[in-house]
Amino acid sequence: MSAETSKPAINRRVASLSPSATLAITAKAKQLKNQGVDVVNFAGGEPDFDTPQPFKDAAIRALKEGMTRYTPTTGLPQLKEAIAEKLKRDNQLEYKPEQIVVTVGAKHAVFNAIQVLVDEGDEVIVPAPYWLSYPEMVKMAGGRNVFVTTSEEQRFKITPELLKRAISPASKVLILNSPSNPTGVVYSKEELTELTRIAVDHGIFVVSDEIYEKLIYGNTKHYAVAALEPRFKDSVITVNGLSKAYAMTGWRLGYFAAPLEIAKAASSLQDHQTSNVTSFAQPAAVEALRNGEGEAAKLREIFSNRRDLIISELRRIPQVRFVEPDGAFYVFVNITKSGLNSMEFSQRILEEVHIALIPGSPFGAEGYVRISFATSEREIVKGTERMRSWLKK
């Protein structure tokens, strides 16, 4: 309360946001590391690589050429063209530049898509486990989260039956995220088609977060939801970005492609919010999107090897079980046999054997922890060995 007015200082919606439950773990891990403790970091949410040099060079060139001023709010024309080319090349999707909005990371793209679509009281269907920012974004828009709990037996996927049961007259948006953070599961073409059909038939928009599209392993394929049936394009907002595929997390480059009305509304919103993404970062995105497939493939291969390694190492730990991930860089591990809840497990494994990982509860799934394999093979072996002997005790 402010003393003079006795009104709450904090806006109601902001006050409703949950503080990040993972922050304590991450801060503690950093503190231990600074003290010289050998912490194994299984908590990372980003590739552990530097941005490839050609992308950096494009930004350096742009700076030298004086590209230091405002650009159009929704992005430079050449970047929007490069995104349109990417959507056509990789996803068989045709978008006009005015349907594309460049955002400050994919996080901003999801946030603005939700702001544009969701009104006070609208319901947003969020399959759980979920990326922990979705529910907070829905709250910020005044919407209501309708969580649909999926099971390990269903590979953490929302089924058509579960979706149908969650739909009400207030349903406005369904969030899909394949490949998924935190589970690494990837929906098949048939699964995505059926779910999207149900949503579209009920007049529900789909926000499809495809940020992990390029981190996909074995014979698994990624399908852009909007491309599955021609009519889907009128109801699907495709979110993507450069962070994960091109090791560019710090650059803050994301985008979405949407029906024109939605893109226009998002453009007005962004006019009064962030305006454009950093001017000289945009040519780096053009370079990555046009010429970065070799770099993206290298990254994918490294992650694929790490995935195989962590799976075989975790299989040697009888106290845990998990669904093998087909994409992203996470394994969502069932820890119920330990008798600890996910927060206790995460705190104790950090304190006792110095492994940082993220509890499942903030992802809407108690009884699990998220292990990231965005770390070296040496660390993967070291960390899983430590975990094995710790759990034995």
Contact residues for ligand PLP, defined by CB under 6 A: 45, 105-107, 131, 177, 181, 209, 211, 241, 243, 249, 254
What's the closest the beta carbon of residue 314 comes to ligand PLP, in angstroms?
Answer: 21
What is the DSSP secondary structure assignment for residue 104, as one 8-state letter? Answer: S
**Taking a C-beta distance cutoff of 8 angstroms, is the pair 327, 215 a contact?**
yes
What residues have CB less than 8 Å from 282, skipping those under 6 apart? 62, 71, 75, 76, 78, 79, 102, 253, 276
What's the closest the beta carbon of residue 351 comes to ligand PLP, in angstroms?
Answer: 26
Measured N-to-C along each axis, helices 377-392 and 293-315 cross at an angle, to the nearest 10 degrees, of: 20
By beta-carbon proximity to ligand PLP, the closer residue of 244 and 306 is 244
Q: What share of the chain is helix, strand, coil (3-state, %, to 5)?
A: 45, 15, 40
By beta-carbon proximity to ligand PLP, the closer residue of 131 and 232 is 131
By beta-carbon proximity to ligand PLP, the closer residue of 107 and 354 is 107
Residue of this chain nearest to ligand PLP (CB atom)? 105
By beta-carbon proximity to ligand PLP, the closer residue of 225 and 317 is 225
By beta-carbon proximity to ligand PLP, the closer residue of 74 and 338 is 74
User: What is the strand order of the sheet 144-149 is part of?
Assistant: 100-103, 254-257, 236-241, 205-209, 171-177, 123-128, 144-149
What's the closest the beta carbon of residue 67 comes to ligand PLP, in angstroms?
Answer: 22
Cα–Cα separations (whole angstroms), residue 279 to 11, 77, 102, 158, 282:
32, 12, 11, 39, 6
Tokens read off for 206: 């789909």
What is the DSSP secondary structure assignment for residue 69, as one 8-state letter? Answer: S
C-alpha span between 344 and 128 (Å, rounded): 21
What's the closest the beta carbon of residue 364 comes to ligand PLP, in angstroms?
Answer: 13
By beta-carbon proximity to ligand PLP, the closer residue of 45 and 283 is 45
What's the closest the beta carbon of residue 180 comes to ligand PLP, in angstroms?
Answer: 7
What's the closest the beta carbon of residue 177 comes to ligand PLP, in angstroms?
Answer: 5
Virtual CA dihedral for 175, 177, 180, 186, nearest 10 degrees? 120
Chain position carrying tokens 């503190």? 31
By beta-carbon proximity to ligand PLP, the closer residue of 112 and 171 is 112
With b for 16 or more beta-carbon neighbours within 10 A and e for fewer, the 343-378 pattern comes to: bebbbebbeebbbbbbbbbbbbbebbbbbbbbbeee
By beta-carbon proximity to ligand PLP, the closer residue of 107 and 307 is 107
